[in-house]
Structure 1
Amino acid sequence: MLCSNPYNADCPTRHILDRIGDRWTVLIIGALGDGDARFSELRRRIEGISQKMLTQTLRGLERDGLVSRTVYPEVPVRVEYALTSAGRTLLEPLTALQAWAIEHLSDISASQDAYDRAT
């Protein structure tokens, strides 16, 4: 079923928005934007992500065709993750969101402080 209205509950585009709007997805895509990486490299780079969440998110991104997983038959086995061409197209909008967050950080922090004082 094709649908292009994510406001409909059963529209598949909603799944895509859920995937790319997830905080771990944003950070993994950004980390892989610098080049291929092993699981342990991603885990070190993305502070606060658990092994379970990194595994789940990478599997979801691989299923969606945004990340590729390559297993090298070495001892020990080496596995690397990389952005696919579709995954690379997310770098520009996600970088823009990151820049927006940095630019508006002080305004948002001030608003949060004001709200917290008022409640």
Structure 2
Amino acid sequence: MGETPLSSCPRAAGAEAVLAMLARDDLDAAIEAGLMDLLPCPPGCTCECATHWKVIREAQQRLRVAWDARDRHRARQLRQARRAAERDARRAPAAAAQPAARPALPPSAAAILARAKARAAGHKATE
């Protein structure tokens, strides 16, 4: 990126500052200055800034690729977290979710148990 001014091009007004930031490797400042909003010259433009626009266009493409990769990574993390939660839910014992009700004793078993308790209470009272 030489010292050639871009001012002869109508679209170059904002591009000069961004181009200088890219030359300093200050990508954050270039993004803040509108790197992703810059558009190249329209077809038929006879300006001399085609090489400068090439640098800007390549920076935009690299940034889009990086942002797309970041989005894919975030989506993958969300998918993995969702799958882990589903897997943990499947592995959790069903009894923990709902305590089982004790079945009632059949009447005959209840009568036997009552007599046994009465005998045990009678033996304890006599001791």
TM-score in same-fold range (> 0.5): no
Larger radius of gyration between Structure 1 and Structure 2: 2
Structure with bigger strand share is: 1
Higher relative contact order (CA 8 A, sep 6+): 1
TM-score (normalizing by structure 1): 0.28
